[in-house]
A and B are shown apart, each in its own frame.
Chain A
């Protein structure tokens, strides 16, 4: 699973964003969240998106990941313009190409760690044996193979986030997006999570895009991009 990405070409742009605008309507006022952003992200890069609250970093991340749509502009991921896909196509595309890590972990509380990690694989054609192998590999990668039968409430915050990372990894996506993944964690757990994300980029060739407020967290990335009022500031 991981080996395929080791062979990927390091400099190939996986994300190409051109003239991206996102305008929200709040009552009678238009709020510009993204103001003509253009950005390339190369394969295997660990990009951190930084900036103050309301700068548009999460909006940009959501558009790249295909969970939000821009008002105008294009966003190509691996050559596919995700802004042109319909709801169903986007759902399939996300399942195959993107792994998500949220600030609040977003695990399904009634499912065990194993079942949570297995969820994205249920949408594939893999046999139950193949699914089991991939889930085990993903859980071993985040060091939680021994916690697979635990429900989320039986895990610590750091463990929950590691399960979420395993869930993001399990379909072997090219892109992993993380929205403030350490925001709810103590410093020790945050360090664990950031180390895993960094190794995914460095060793497994995954492209990781992470939104964070924390400069210490951003230091784990290979490149940092700052947003200010919907525009790139550097």
Chain B
């Protein structure tokens, strides 16, 4: 029979001064763990949130990102007549050939320079990406050297306010609007007219095609047709699938989060151990009394483990609460796929909170195990005689 849980809880709380350090130590570990994982989750969410499930994206075979892909105009002419592609009421194929270019621009407040992804997009491409909306100014006028920048990038880069302009290649681009990508990867892009982009950057080729097939079956057939046609050397997949795979940037952050958490948890385990050794040392006679009353060794160990686990749980809750403060905060990093600035938000998901709490309890239980076992192994008579 176990000791009442209230015994463990009250003991944990009654020594609040000595246990506060342990709670804070574990809270710090959980905070770092959850915060770094929420960064990775934010990047994944940004990529996973991008695209329309009906669309098919085509890039050059072997290209890891649209910006690293080149597709000939001849390929475009051939593919646009495929019968799997949906057509407008006027019979035009719903396909957009985009041009993506990386340009180096200065950050605000002399914060150095960073790459920005510039997408030359057709009117059709804009229709295929309804999640992108204009939040300020107006859309660019085709044929003019105008650009619409992401509102989130506008807060980070110099000369991105409406009416301002920046030099790119030989051209001076004027910012006429701000777009919002709805938490997608498009929040890390600047859009301008596709033909203008090709002219400014002297691109004879396209970067990618975005296609709307007639239906699901036509989409599957289209992917197979493009992939199997030896003339093309192109890779076609659903747009959402393509972006879901663009999570390479999150991997090292996740790894770092795990690594730091493991390193710090070693310290936290010792902190918990120290606290519990002190707690057990001060209660040796009490433990002896419990044994005299008939409680077995196992009951004593379980009671102390619950106590240590409870302390750690409190630390976990505090750590998660601190991390949650950053939930939704927008930040940016260098995207490893595009080598451009990608904007995303910290995402403290329910799963991350659960992981953080479980992690905390494991740290607490491991830290408590040795003192608990030591206390339970003490002969009853020795425990009773302790001062």
Contacts and interface: CB of A to CB of B under 8 A. Distances in A.
Interface string B1-20: 10110110011001000000
The secondary structure that dominates the A interface is helix
A68 B285 CA distance: 15
B14 A119 contact: no
A229 to B, nearest CB: 20
Contact of B286 (A91, A106, A115): A106
Contacts of B290: 108, 119
A120 interface: yes
Nearest to A118: B4
A122 B10 CA distance: 18
Contacts of A92: 294
Nearest to A120: B293
B6 to A, nearest CB: 8
A225 interface: no
A42 to B, nearest CB: 24
Contacts of A120: 293-294
B294 A94 contact: yes
Contacts of B68: none
A173 to B, nearest CB: 11
Interface string A22-35: 00000000000000
Interface residues of B, number: 22
Contacts of A54: none
A106 B7 contact: no
B8 to A, nearest CB: 9
Given A62-B381, A108-B286, A91 B291 contact: yes
B384 interface: yes
A87 interface: yes
B295 A68 contact: no
Contacts of A62: 381
A106 B14 contact: no
Given A108-B286, A111-B10, A95 B293 contact: yes
Interface in A182-202: none
B7 A100 contact: no
Contact of A106 (B1, B289, B381): B289
B7 A111 contact: yes
Interface in A18-67: 62, 65, 67
A119 B292 contact: no
A109 B290 CA distance: 12
A106 B383 CA distance: 12
Contacts of A95: 293-294
A125 B46 CA distance: 57
A109 B11 CA distance: 9
A104 B285 CA distance: 10
Q: Please provide the 7 A-B residue pairs with the shortest distance between their CB atoms, ordered closest to farther.
A: A95-B294, A110-B10, A106-B289, A68-B381, A123-B1, A67-B380, A123-B294
Given A100-B289, A111-B10, A120-B293, 8 more contacts: A62-B381, A65-B292, A91-B296, A109-B286, A110-B11, A111-B7, A119-B293, A122-B1
17 contacts: A62-B381, A67-B292, A67-B381, A91-B294, A94-B294, A100-B292, A106-B285, A106-B286, A106-B289, A110-B11, A115-B4, A115-B6, A119-B290, A122-B3, A122-B4, A123-B293, A123-B294
